[in-house]
């Protein structure tokens, strides 16, 4: 692969920043649950994703 054929991309893209934040949140939630905490304690701190319906309707 030639260097001329590659695209210049920033090393820290927005998508990678979001993914990194998701992994940090997952680790923090996991540690909280391992210490005996409850998910209801975390509902104000984290925005939990709600599943989408298969039909696209709510």
pLDDT in tens, the chain (58 residues): 555 666 665 566 878 888 888 888 888 889 999 999 988 888 888 777 666 666 666 5
Look at residue 6 in the predicted model and tell me its pLDDT.
61
User: Are the C-beta atoms of residues 42 and 32 closer than 8 Å to each other?
Assistant: yes
Q: Give the position of tokens 């893209």.
A: 13
Q: How many CA atoms lie within 13 A of 31 on its CB side?
A: 6
pTM (predicted TM-score): 0.57
Look at residue 31 in the predicted model and tell me its pLDDT.
93
């Amino acid at each position: 692969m030639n260097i001329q054929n590659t695209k210049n991309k920033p090393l820290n893209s927005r998508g990678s920043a979001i993914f990194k934040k998701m992994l940090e949140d997952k680790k923090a939630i996991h540690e909280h649950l391992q210490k005996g905490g409850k998910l209801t304690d975390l509902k104000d701190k984290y925005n939990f994703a709600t599943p989408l319906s298969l039909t696209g309707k709510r």
